[in-house]
Amino acid sequence: MPDVDIQSIKQRFGIIGTSPLLDRAINIASQVATTDLSVLIAGESGVGKERMPQIIHSLSPRKHNKYIAVNCGAIPEGTIDSELFGHEKGSFTGAQGSRKGYFEEADGGTIFLDEVAELPLQTQVRLLRVLETGEFMKVGSSKVQKTNVRIVAATNVNVPEAISKGKFREDLYYRLNSVPIKMPSLSERKEDIHLLFRKFASDFADKYRMPVVRLTPEAAKILEEYRWKGNIRQLKNTAEQISVIEQNREITQDVIIRYLPDFGNSSDLPAVYQKPEEKNDFTEREILYKFLIDMKKDLGDLKKVVLDLVKEGKVNMSEEQSEIIQKIYDDVQESGKTPLQLAPAKPVYNNSPLEYEIHAPGEFDDHEELTEESLSLEEKERELIQKALEKYNGKRKDAAKELGISERTLYRKIKEYDLN
């Protein structure tokens, strides 16, 4: 196989950067282009995953046929099968005629399935059949059709984790992942950040007919050290804002900081991933409850032992003390209770210590129990969705972003939990 001219590929597709990780991704894409193997591109949102399928298609024998890019996360669950595989007239409400799907339209070409992990499980079964046999059926039809399509998929989701949660089929993952390509995040290619900013600044200067903004060395250093959560997309937006708003064309350290959200926070620095603090607090609270319940039982047993010793005359005390102990002991024998009971007063969950009161016999009935917080995952999920919707005044797009799920998934959950 001939050597790949990575530089010419970068120029052809407008890819900027000298990172070895970027060069590695381009090299794999160009090498696999001449085959019909399925490719799965992984990487964070905004890293430019859409460039890889374009490279693969343009360097493949299919380059003269159709190339169709599909954003699986943007198509409603109820219509995704119709979009991909087509439908027959009358197959559902509103289907006034027969329609070709993307797999039929792209026969002989390439389909790029972006956000493939957002596909419903039912659609994943249909896609698996296409990958294995090249066969599919339109919605509302029993006729099997054939298609010869090269599939390239991309996702920013941790697919093995999605598989463990039952949200993605394992067999489909291995069919798609014949050749994996990892697109590096911007924080993994710091040497390219200033190059990209200069290119974006130059483009916006031409677009808005104004001088190009330039960074001081200190400002460029800050750009390189900042954690770009939105990757190239966020960097481009930042360059555009600065180009339009700033009058002074030389951008200093103080100026650049104003355009970097939460600059200096620990969340902007690379760190080992930890589970959300709320989950750790929940686990500690559960352990604390168990400890207190066990301690209550142990104290009851200890007090009963002391009372037995007093009853047997093995502990010396005054006559008055003996009468008091005798009365408590008789009450215990009649009711079956421990003489002093530990019961929760007001459980406090906001990182404050739990408060407890000591109750004498008879202050509450035999059936009073310690009520523990629900451990249901569904209840927790419903509660978090409700809080996110309230926080953003019902704006589903912002709530979905806060929860780390797609709008379609949020919409499905709202219907499932009957949330208004």
58 near 235, Cβ under 8 Å?
A: no
Query: In which band, very low, low, confident or very high, does the pLDDT at 316 lie, cut at 50, 70 and 90?
Result: low
Q: Is the pLDDT of residue 162 over 90?
A: yes
| Chosen domain end from 158, 184, 210 | 184
Residue with the larger pLDDT of the pair 19 and 283? 19
Q: Tell me what pLDDT residue 295 has.
A: 72
* Same domain as 145, residue 15: yes
| Domain assignment of residue 371, yes or no | no
Question: Which CATH number goes with the domain that contains 398?
Answer: 1.10.10
Half-sphere exposure of 107 (CA within 13 A, CB side): 11
* Same domain as 210, residue 110: no
* Same domain as 168, residue 37: yes
Q: How many CB atoms lie within 10 A of CB 91?
A: 17
Q: Tell me what pLDDT residue 220 has.
A: 95
* Same domain as 32, residue 170: yes
110 near 149, Cβ under 8 Å?
A: yes
Percent of the chain with pLDDT over 90: 58
Q: What is the DSSP string of 224-272?
A: HHS--TTHHHHHHHHHHHHHHH-SSSEE-HHHHHTTSTTTTSGGGS---
* Same domain as 211, residue 103: no
* Same domain as 171, residue 40: yes
Query: In which band, very low, low, confident or very high, does the pLDDT at 387 lie, cut at 50, 70 and 90?
Result: confident
Q: Tell me what pLDDT residue 332 has.
A: 53
* Same domain as 405, residue 299: no
| Domain assignment of residue 46, yes or no | yes
Quote the CA–CA distance of 70 and 37 in Å, as a whole number: 19
* Same domain as 33, residue 157: yes
| Domain assignment of residue 372, yes or no | no
Tell me the average pLDDT across 19-34: 96
CB-based burial label for 60 (10 Å; 0-12, 13-18, 19+): buried
Pairing of strands 110-114, 341-346: unpaired
pLDDT tens for each residue of 188-220: 999 999 999 999 999 999 999 999 999 999 999
Percent of the chain with pLDDT over 70: 73
Q: Is the pLDDT of residue 270 over 60?
A: no
Range in 131-140, 291-300, 316-325 the model is least confident about: 316-325
Question: Which CATH number goes with the domain that contains 218?
Answer: 1.10.8.60
CA 344 to chain centre: 37
Tell me the average pLDDT across 397-407: 84
Consecutive H or E run containing 335: helix 319-335
Q: How many CB atoms lie within 10 A of CB 54?
A: 17
| Domain assignment of residue 389, yes or no | yes
| Domain assignment of residue 364, yes or no | no
* Same domain as 79, residue 29: yes
Query: In which band, very low, low, confident or very high, does the pLDDT at 418 lie, cut at 50, 70 and 90?
Result: confident
Phi, psi of 71 (to 5 degrees): -90, 100
Q: Tell me what pLDDT residue 399 has.
A: 84
Range in 103-117, 126-140, 157-171, 383-397 the model is least confident about: 383-397
* Same domain as 202, residue 162: no
Report helix, strand or coil for 93. coil
* Same domain as 311, residue 403: no
Domain count of the chain? 4
Q: Tell me what pLDDT residue 362 has.
A: 47
Quote the CA–CA distance of 46 and 19 in Å, as a whole number: 17
Q: Is the pLDDT of residue 384 over 90?
A: no
| Domain assignment of residue 365, yes or no | no
243 near 197, Cβ under 8 Å?
A: no
163 near 170, Cβ under 8 Å?
A: yes
410 near 79, Cβ under 8 Å?
A: no
Query: In which band, very low, low, confident or very high, does the pLDDT at 291 lie, cut at 50, 70 and 90?
Result: low
* Same domain as 235, residue 130: no
| Chosen domain end from 168, 184, 200 | 184
Quote the CA–CA distance of 26 and 58 in Å, as a whole number: 13
| Domain assignment of residue 369, yes or no | no
| Domain assignment of residue 287, yes or no | yes
Q: Is the pLDDT of residue 303 over 70?
A: no
Q: Tell me what pLDDT residue 314 has.
A: 63
Per-chain mean pLDDT for the chain = 82
pLDDT tens for each residue of 167-181: 999 999 999 999 999
pLDDT tens for each residue of 130-146: 999 999 999 999 999 99
| Chosen domain end from 127, 155, 184 | 184
Tell me the average pLDDT across 326-351: 49
Q: Is the pLDDT of residue 292 over 90?
A: no
Structural domain harbouring 384? 377-417
Query: In which band, very low, low, confident or very high, does the pLDDT at 243 lie, cut at 50, 70 and 90?
Result: very high
